[in-house]
């Protein structure tokens, strides 16, 4: 089993959706596992020490045991709940408290090397907790660091002007580095979101005409049906098949046919409102969904605008124009019409009946008149 597969066993699916949360979860797991392994060996080594008074060995042992158990519990919480923010902050608190406690318990200048871990913990806080939480942790750690050195070294630290300045400079550099890292990460995420949305948009658009494709149309129609049920809204659905397109394609070639499709798609897009949808379903078939149309009179006006837009001449070459018309099936949605598949079957049937009868449009309530 690969390491990444092992780590993913502890990460719930909800954290894998967001790239930042997923990355922080993986880093947190690696750190937790390394800490558990390291502390376990330190615990064993600690039990073998004879030179430190027994009372202090006992206190340190309890601290190590508590940390091992706490970090193991964090692993379980990660797997079961995915509480990444709580886990990160608890880990930082636990590590910060342990370093501070060890330094205070032994009160030994020779242990001041342990305090080197505090700046490392400050850097880690930015990586795991994000910029805001990292800033809070870095401030707490920096002031504690200065306080511990003051407590442990007394006048040797206070009287030496260089040491506090070096320490403050260290944390300032950490802050600048974290700010730069956060800015770069933010810019990269914005670019990634832009490219992801661009790819998503392209996946939902017809490649030739650059209007919504069948997939986007189906999704939009499903949502319109749901709103009609839940919000007492209604909509009109129009299916369009072009008359006279095949002869143009046969006579002038596929490039001319493509120009006609692009022109019709552009006109449909400009005819409808922002809340409506015009889509190319394939070949020379198009569909339009008009939102919030409650009266047939308004629907007839909208359909007439579409008809006139389609029938305007299209220039395919300099000095050469062609014309097409549309056979349209139209219905005003009612709940008894059922789901999307049934709705499409109804309007598709209306469109072909209109085409067969030579009518430009056939409404659902006119079907019995044929």
pLDDT mean values, one per 10 residues, the chain (370 residues): 74 72 80 83 70 53 78 82 81 82 67 72 80 83 78 50 66 77 74 68 83 92 86 88 93 94 96 94 95 83 94 91 94 88 93 90 67
Residue 109 is given by DSSP the state: G
Predicted local confidence at residue 201, as pLDDT: 62
For residues 147 and 174, what is the distance between their CA atoms, to the nearest angstrom? 19
Residues in the chain: 370
- Of residues 45, 41, 88, the one with CA closest to residue 68: 41
Looking at residue 267, its pLDDT comes to: 96
pLDDT for the residue numbered 155: 43
- List C-alpha distances in Å: 28 to 7, 36, 91, 140, 194: 10, 12, 9, 20, 28
pTM: 0.51
Distance (Å, whole) CA 247 – CA 232 = 44
Distance of CA 181 to the CA centre of its chain: 21
pLDDT at 217: 94
pLDDT of residue 34: 85
């Amino acid at each position: 089993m690969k390491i990444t597969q092992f780590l993913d066993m502890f990460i719930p699916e909800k954290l894998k959706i967001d790239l930042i949360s997923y990355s922080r979860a993986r880093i947190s797991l690696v750190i937790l596992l390394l800490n558990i392994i390291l502390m376990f060996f330190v615990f064993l080594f600690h039990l073998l020490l004879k030179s430190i008074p027994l009372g202090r060995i006992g206190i340190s042992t309890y601290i190590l045991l508590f940390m091992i158990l706490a970090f193991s519990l964090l692993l379980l919480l990660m797997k079961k709940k995915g509480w990444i923010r709580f886990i990160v902050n608890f880990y930082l608190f636990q590590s910060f408290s342990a370093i501070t406690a060890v330094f205070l318990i032994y009160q030994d200048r020779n242990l001041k090397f342990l305090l080197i871990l505090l700046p490392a913990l400050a850097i880690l806080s930015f990586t795991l907790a994000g910029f805001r939480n990292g800033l809070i942790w870095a401030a707490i750690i920096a002031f504690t660091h200065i306080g511990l050195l003051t407590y442990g070294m007394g006048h040797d630290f206070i009287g030496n002007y260089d040491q506090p300045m070096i320490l403050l400079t260290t944390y300032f550099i950490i802050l600048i580095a974290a700010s730069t890292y956060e800015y770069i990460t933010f810019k990269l995420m914005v670019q990634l979101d832009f490219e992801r949305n661009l790819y998503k948009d392209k996946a939902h658009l017809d490649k030739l005409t650059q209007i919504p494709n069948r997939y986007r149309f189906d999704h939009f129609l499903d949502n319109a049906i749901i709103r009609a049920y839940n919000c007492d809204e209604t909509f009109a659905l129009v299916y369009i098949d072009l008359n006279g397109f095949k002869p143009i394609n046969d006579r002038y070639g596929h490039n001319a046919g493509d120009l006609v499709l692009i022109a019709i798609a552009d006109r449909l897009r400009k005819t409808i409102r922002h809340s409506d949808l015009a889509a190319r379903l394939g070949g020379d078939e198009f569909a339009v969904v008009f939102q919030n149309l409650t009266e047939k009179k308004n629907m007839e006006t909208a359909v007439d605008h579409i008809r006139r837009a389609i029938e305007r001449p299209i220039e395919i070459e300099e000095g050469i124009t062609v014309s097409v018309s549309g056979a349209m099936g139209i219905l005003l949605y009612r709940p008894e019409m059922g789901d999307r598949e049934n709705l499409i079957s109804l309007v598709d049937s209306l469109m072909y009946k209109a085409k067969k009868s030579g009518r430009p449009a056939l409404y659902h309530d006119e079907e019995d008149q044929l």
